[in-house]
Chain A
């Protein structure tokens, strides 16, 4: 009988532990929320990648080895009016095309393909118009950027995004290849092509200082 009671006590203890097992714990979002991080990745992973590719191409000789093998171009330097370049190399923006706008330090970049953001890859489009904010082309520059795009994800979810009203300033961060984004980003979310949310994000240069507002 003693053994039986011990067995009962053990079983009851196991069941109790299972019931109150709190190994998992809810996360808290005291800093950037998941939605903020998602939108920031559009600026930091998306538009910044486009600018990095543009700056790389601007430094490249169209007739050099890199210019011939990494890009398809019309023989003109990307700094020259009428230049059209396409990214050939494997990478996040493979297939993107870059065009110089005549008479201005402005480039138009378009991309359509699977793009990786936040570690997930889905069909994404970008239309970016980048205006050089500096007086001349250097190694890492400041840009004023107008952009729009779409992303189509799993289970009928998709979104469109763009800068809101005024271009977003991408200011070069010294000693890095990154930019701090300043301005407003607008994102609309769809489920089965029906709008379910619209969000305006203020970009203040650093991830921790951004803020979002839901617009119904």
Chain B
């Protein structure tokens, strides 16, 4: 019990530190970018998922497959724990400003929570159907460039490229950091005047698809 409480405090502290760091970076960069901005500013609020960390981390959908179809044919099946992760939808906040008519620069921040589930080895009958879940949060901060491909009457086609850092908490007892990147080969922006709807498909650390609204001012 004591151990659980202590872990909770540690992860909470790290979580707080990550949030503070992200907000500080965003505010500072936004201030710097705003001073030099010539064009319009834009704020995007997006929902997206799943977390595509499956490409980088040890736990993947393959482990989930192993869990359900592990037959216990080997001692490793019987005695080794298996972890798998289910992705949850993340929230994204993007600030950008117009450098050229076809180019916007800014900051992309994404926060998401996923569930990591552990299945104990199959050797003990009482553990065979017991799963232990843990929430894991991801914060990604990436400087970003958004490139307009084509501007139509009510729609705009664009691409996006971003690179930065990802902070992972509650994964074990220590915060993990890793390089983060995201490429959006194709996105669509619909709407009138300053308010737009956005839908985009991406590949990278933060999301694979997301949608939301943007406001230009």
Contacts and interface: CB of A to CB of B under 8 A. Distances in A.
A25 B75 CA distance: 23
B128 A155 contact: no
B186 interface: no
A185 to B, nearest CB: 15
B217 interface: no
A37 B89 CA distance: 40
- Which of B73, B80, B88, B89 counts the most chain A CB atoms within 10 A? B73
A34 B75 contact: no
A197 B190 CA distance: 62
Interface string B96-138: 0000000000000000000000000011110011010000000
B41 interface: no
B187 interface: no
A153 B76 contact: yes
B142 interface: no
Interface residues of B, number: 33
Interface stretch (B11-19, B28-36, B51-59, B64-72): B64-72
Nearest to A199: B123
B53 to A, nearest CB: 16
B128 A19 contact: no
B68 A34 contact: no
A118 interface: yes
A120 B74 contact: yes
A158 to B, nearest CB: 7
Contacts of A158: 75
B75 A153 contact: yes
Nearest to B130: A26
Interface in B128-183: 128-129, 131
B49 interface: yes
B71 A24 contact: no
A173 interface: no
B80 A18 contact: no
A7 B199 contact: yes
A29 B80 CA distance: 18
Interface string A147-158: 000000111011
A24 B64 contact: yes
B78 interface: yes
B62 interface: no
A175 B211 CA distance: 67
B72 A28 contact: no
B129 A154 contact: no
B79 interface: yes
B206 interface: no
Contacts of B123: 34-35, 189, 197
A120 B73 contact: yes
A157 B80 CA distance: 10
A4 B197 contact: yes
Contacts of B79: 157, 189, 191, 196-197
B202 interface: no
B124 A214 contact: yes
20 contacts: A8-B211, A15-B49, A15-B89, A19-B88, A24-B64, A26-B131, A33-B128, A34-B71, A35-B72, A35-B124, A37-B72, A38-B73, A38-B78, A120-B74, A153-B75, A154-B76, A157-B74, A157-B76, A189-B75, A189-B78
- Shortest 4 CB-CB contacts between residues of A and residues of B: A34-B72, A157-B75, A118-B73, A34-B122
Given A26-B68, A154-B74, A189-B78, 9 more contacts: A15-B89, A19-B89, A24-B65, A34-B70, A35-B122, A118-B72, A118-B73, A157-B74, A157-B79
Interface of A: 4, 7-8, 11, 15, 18-19, 24-29, 33-35, 37-38, 118-120, 122, 153-155, 157-159, 189, 191, 196-197, 214
